Chain A
């Protein structure tokens, strides 16, 4: 059996692809991947018989066509990228994964940098309705966050990202992580459902620390491996030879024309490792 190779799945720009935009982010990701596979498969020709392609160690599904990029000057846009580290993936790999995920976005949008990179750690969630104090994070957790965070600080210093964002961090988590950072996060993104119950201490703390509290509606487990497995089985002829497939990260990007509030580009990449002898 050959060593695992990485597969990067991509949705392309999904902002105008219809109903999937109304779904929760996990459904949106799966359904837009499915749509993009179908579209790519329908475009194969005798000169270009395959809709997947290997580039070095990475297989792109579907293969990368010349990306359109953005239609206006870079300065017109607010580009936000949210990176989901997935459960069961070694923390030591996050540094590489972060760079890899960001590179895919930069290439897709044809930009040298983005404005905000928000990271989402696996297995932590924020429940605004839960008035019990945040559970005190373990030292091990804090160490992991701090290690990961350094990768973002490096990217910021290199000028690839302007601001760093966290997600699902309550006061208890922030208090532990902040002393371990040299560049403070600018954003904390929390899941606020229809209700608007955000704990006062968090609002207060965020204000003091000049951290902007943003809302999101993403789900906690954005790409369970079973869901990806299921999607690939629909394309059995292409992916039938895959053994175990292990999603490593998911990244969501949005490019918004700032002065007009119009979303021009939105999409996902997901990376998984697989036994790839038939790909």
Chain B
């Protein structure tokens, strides 16, 4: 969630005059880091995952599962855990340096939702294949430690969205009525927001900047008895406490959709994110670009959130909900009104798919950046004048069209070019599906990093480990074979939309590149014919003539992308490429067998042998005896679903049949 600096936050109206200053300083800080760190070389592979948990609280008497709002107490308790502290874990402020691998104790962080926890490994994983075997045990340890610091009736679950967040009546423990002054939501109370001042300020400032509440409409999943047309019955039209209460009277809630109006619906979702350190800036740029087209594919494959606000919806993923939940664009910026106060019409939310590639690899063609993006041109010029190349300057100049949302008055007074607070203010409130991360400071040992952000958190640590490890192995395969996954960036955004559709993993097709291996040379002689030495063959090899970009990609199913197409010219499939990589390096028997289990999960999720969490959750609800076939997820159904998620999260549902359909038990 970026920096949690303490201090006095400015309201949107107070912050606004400083926006340019923060941006200018941010660019100055970026240039300072870039100039010193651009020649950083030979950093080793280090990587880490981030897993987010919902903390649920059971009321066994009424058979209800609600969100616990005790995040602060749990974190405090974790921070006071002597054993953890000695081992160098707990919460970041207490973390000791110089941890040895193998002794790492996880680190817990606060998140936007006051019912969430985030946990990362205490120290990053290394680049050895054997290190991959520590991922799943580390994740399991985190879950156990988290649980140890909760009350008996609380538990951490790794479910992407809480099914009953925002329903009428209690869904938090303790109960608070909705419609507080910060979010002004008709569904969720302000008390679900992490009370750290940054988060309420972020919430209020997004709403103020936008000029209305955020607005998310998800198509409802029409089941047998769902009223058709569906009109969200939980919307209250007659409130008049805040000006934003008029939003729904002006058509904010669409027919056929589940309507949501607060940041918490999005930022209260749980994700699985992976960050890699690259060997240098150039490799980081390569990985950023190459993983970019994988974002939507992995979103569809990890889909885990079919229920919002108590309804089964017709989508499987959280991404667009978060996108809408932090969309601070004004009506002018959204193109609804002619530009007057604002500078640009901005097609996307701050939380959205990547809009520009940044690598300078030979495989890159300018045609791939086929989306015209707004850039902060004066700041871009500053970067160019500082020596930064065009593609990277463009990337940052694009991020820097956004306003800073939270400004602390102290940070305005205490400005140091050597810090990165102003830069991070903009950088970490641009939530694209990849993030390119400069070292935190020019002197830092930490190198250039890339974050892969699209995946949904899985119900079990086995699956979370499998998805994380798949991505890590894929990066090694990309770098070893020099793979090229470029497709026009507009197609990546289209894929992102496609990925949300119900069961996209099996029923949709995605744009994907056909030839991913680096080009060989032209003028090859035909196979089987003889080549006469000294004959009139041409001299120097020429690169293959580039055909139209449109011929480079086609629509593929996720099964084809992962498991390959038939025939010698068919797409070979990412899994066989990874296996080929594994066959090229020394892997011990135990590691190879464990990795085979993880790859098998990806393989079988892709070919439909096993279900995504989204499908599993949807089926769980629809086959529940108390489900009334009307799309509603009642207290009773929710209780059983959360219990099932807990059981799966602890030992993959050992002793039950819950795991059936999701994966194969060892």
The chain A residues found within 8 Å of chain B, CB to CB, are 15-19, 21-22, 34-35, 37-39, 41-46, 49-52, 72, 76, 78, 80, 116, 187, 190, 192, 194, 196, 198, 203, 212-217, 234-238, 240, 254, 256, 258-264, 266
User: Which residue of chain A lies nearest to B480 when distances are taken between CB atoms in the complex?
Assistant: A263
Residues in A whose Cβ lies below 8 Å from that of B520: 17-18, 35, 39
Does B476 interact with chain A (Cβ within 8 Å)? yes
Which of B521, B525, B576, B589 contacts A196, CB < 8 Å? B589
Check if A234 sits within 8 Å of B528, measured CB to CB: yes
A39 to B519, CA, bound (A): 13
Residues in B whose Cβ lies below 8 Å from that of A234: 527-530
Which of A50, A78, A187, A215 contacts B592, CB < 8 Å? A215
Known: A196-B589, A238-B531. 10 other contacts (CB 8 A): A18-B520, A34-B527, A41-B537, A44-B537, A80-B586, A196-B593, A214-B586, A215-B587, A236-B530, A256-B585
Residues in A whose Cβ lies below 8 Å from that of B584: 15, 21, 254, 256, 263, 266
A32 to B328, CA, bound (A): 54
Contact flags B626-658 to A (C-beta < 8 A → 1, else 0): 000000000000000000000000000000000
Q: How far is the CB of B356 from chain A (nearest CB, A)?
A: 26
Check if A263 sits within 8 Å of B537, measured CB to CB: no
Check if A42 sits within 8 Å of B521, measured CB to CB: yes
A216 to B586, CA, bound (A): 8
Check if B530 sits within 8 Å of A42, measured CB to CB: no
Does B340 interact with chain A (Cβ within 8 Å)? no
Check if A263 sits within 8 Å of B581, measured CB to CB: yes
Q: Which of B121-129, B197-205, B491-499, B501-509 lines the interface with chain A?
A: B121-129
Number of chain B interface residues as a range: 35 or more
A51 to B129, CA, bound (A): 40
Given contacts A50-B533, A237-B531, A237-B533, contact A260 B586 (CB under 8 A): no
User: Which residue of chain A lies nearest to B525 when distances are taken between CB atoms in the complex?
Assistant: A38
A192 to B596, CA, bound (A): 11
Check if B128 sits within 8 Å of A38, measured CB to CB: no
Q: How far is the CB of A129 from chain B (nearest CB, A)?
A: 14
User: Which residue of chain B lies nearest to A49 when distances are taken between CB atoms in the complex?
Assistant: B534
Residues in A whose Cβ lies below 8 Å from that of B42: 72, 76
Give 30 pairs: A residue, B residue, CB < 8 Å, sorted on A: A15-B482, A18-B520, A19-B517, A19-B572, A22-B577, A42-B525, A43-B539, A43-B540, A43-B541, A44-B534, A49-B533, A51-B531, A192-B589, A192-B592, A196-B593, A196-B596, A198-B589, A198-B593, A234-B530, A254-B584, A254-B585, A256-B586, A259-B126, A260-B127, A260-B476, A261-B585, A263-B481, A263-B584, A263-B585, A264-B480
Q: How far is the CB of B542 from chain A (nearest CB, A)?
A: 9
A19 to B498, CA, bound (A): 29
Q: How far is the CB of A252 from chain B (nearest CB, A)?
A: 9
Q: How far is the CB of A186 from chain B (nearest CB, A)?
A: 11
Does B580 interact with chain A (Cβ within 8 Å)? yes
Residues in B whose Cβ lies below 8 Å from that of A15: 480-482, 584
Check if B580 sits within 8 Å of A22, measured CB to CB: yes
Residues in B whose Cβ lies below 8 Å from that of A43: 537, 539-541
Residues in B whose Cβ lies below 8 Å from that of A217: 579, 583
Contact flags B470-490 to A (C-beta < 8 A → 1, else 0): 000000100111100000000
User: Which residue of chain B lies nearest to A24 when distances are taken between CB atoms in the complex?
Assistant: B583
Does B45 interact with chain A (Cβ within 8 Å)? yes
A194 to B595, CA, bound (A): 11
Residues in A whose Cβ lies below 8 Å from that of B45: 259-261
Query: B512-568: which residues lie under 8 A (CB-CB) from chain A?
Result: 517-518, 520-521, 523-525, 527-535, 537-541
Q: Which of B129, B586, B588 has the most CB of A within 10 A?
A: B586
Residues in A whose Cβ lies below 8 Å from that of B586: 78, 80, 116, 187, 214, 256
User: Which residue of chain A lies nearest to B597 when distances are taken between CB atoms in the complex?
Assistant: A196
User: Which residue of chain A lies nearest to B599 when distances are taken between CB atoms in the complex?
Assistant: A194
A266 to B481, CA, bound (A): 10
User: Which residue of chain B lies nearest to A23 when distances are taken between CB atoms in the complex?
Assistant: B580
Check if A261 sits within 8 Å of B476, measured CB to CB: yes
Does B279 interact with chain A (Cβ within 8 Å)? yes
A103 to B270, CA, bound (A): 55
User: Which residue of chain A lies nearest to B472 when distances are taken between CB atoms in the complex?
Assistant: A261
Q: Which of B577, B580, B584 has the most CB of A within 10 A?
A: B584
Residues in B whose Cβ lies below 8 Å from that of A72: 42
Residues in B whose Cβ lies below 8 Å from that of A259: 44-45, 126-127
A141 to B587, CA, bound (A): 28
Q: How far is the CB of B281 from chain A (nearest CB, A)?
A: 15
Contact flags B144-170 to A (C-beta < 8 A → 1, else 0): 000000000000000000000000000
A217 to B589, CA, bound (A): 12
Q: How far is the CB of B101 from chain A (nearest CB, A)?
A: 13
Given contacts A38-B524, A238-B530, A261-B129, contact A18 B589 (CB under 8 A): no
Q: How far is the CB of B173 from chain A (nearest CB, A)?
A: 45
Check if A213 sits within 8 Å of B589, measured CB to CB: yes
Residues in A whose Cβ lies below 8 Å from that of B517: 16-19, 21
User: Which residue of chain B lies nearest to A237 when distances are taken between CB atoms in the complex?
Assistant: B530
A212 to B535, CA, bound (A): 51
Which of B481, B576, B589 contacts A214, CB < 8 Å? B589
Contact flags B116-149 to A (C-beta < 8 A → 1, else 0): 0000000000111100000000000000000000
Residues in A whose Cβ lies below 8 Å from that of B279: 260
Which of A18, A215, A238 contacts B533, CB < 8 Å? A238
Residues in B whose Cβ lies below 8 Å from that of A212: 588
Check if B589 sits within 8 Å of A44, measured CB to CB: no
Given contacts A214-B587, A216-B583, contact A42 B541 (CB under 8 A): yes
Check if A262 sits within 8 Å of B480, measured CB to CB: yes
Q: How far is the CB of A37 from chain B (nearest CB, A)?
A: 7
A52 to B534, CA, bound (A): 11
A39 to B521, CA, bound (A): 7
Q: How far is the CB of B291 from chain A (nearest CB, A)?
A: 15
Check if B525 sits within 8 Å of A41, measured CB to CB: yes
Residues in A whose Cβ lies below 8 Å from that of B585: 254, 256, 261, 263
User: Which residue of chain A lies nearest to B46 when distances are taken between CB atoms in the complex?
Assistant: A259
Check if A194 sits within 8 Å of B596, measured CB to CB: yes
A266 to B587, CA, bound (A): 16
Residues in B whose Cβ lies below 8 Å from that of A22: 572, 576-577, 580
Given contacts A214-B587, A260-B44, A260-B127, contact A38 B577 (CB under 8 A): no
Check if A215 sits within 8 Å of B588, measured CB to CB: yes
User: Which residue of chain B lies nearest to A187 when distances are taken between CB atoms in the complex?
Assistant: B586
Q: How far is the CB of B202 from chain A (nearest CB, A)?
A: 37
Which of A42, A190, A258, A261 contacts B589, CB < 8 Å? A190
User: Which residue of chain A lies nearest to B522 when distances are taken between CB atoms in the complex?
Assistant: A42
A217 to B576, CA, bound (A): 13
A38 to B530, CA, bound (A): 10
Query: B438-482: which residues lie under 8 A (CB-CB) from chain A?
Result: 476, 479-482
A167 to B476, CA, bound (A): 26
Check if A262 sits within 8 Å of B479, measured CB to CB: yes
Q: How far is the CB of A170 from chain B (nearest CB, A)?
A: 13
Given contacts A80-B586, A192-B589, A259-B45, contact A42 B129 (CB under 8 A): no
Residues in A whose Cβ lies below 8 Å from that of B129: 261
Residues in B whose Cβ lies below 8 Å from that of A264: 480
Residues in B whose Cβ lies below 8 Å from that of A190: 589
A55 to B490, CA, bound (A): 55
Residues in B whose Cβ lies below 8 Å from that of A213: 588-589
User: Which residue of chain B lies nearest to A17 when distances are taken between CB atoms in the complex?
Assistant: B520
A22 to B480, CA, bound (A): 13
Check if A260 sits within 8 Å of B587, measured CB to CB: no
A21 to B525, CA, bound (A): 21
A17 to B481, CA, bound (A): 8
Top-8 shortest CB links A-B:
A196-B593, A49-B534, A18-B517, A259-B44, A237-B530, A41-B531, A263-B480, A217-B583
Q: How far is the CB of B489 from chain A (nearest CB, A)?
A: 24
Which of A35, A39, A237 contacts B541, CB < 8 Å? A39
Residues in B whose Cβ lies below 8 Å from that of A194: 596
Q: How far is the CB of B67 from chain A (nearest CB, A)?
A: 40
A35 to B129, CA, bound (A): 31
Check if A235 sits within 8 Å of B530, measured CB to CB: yes
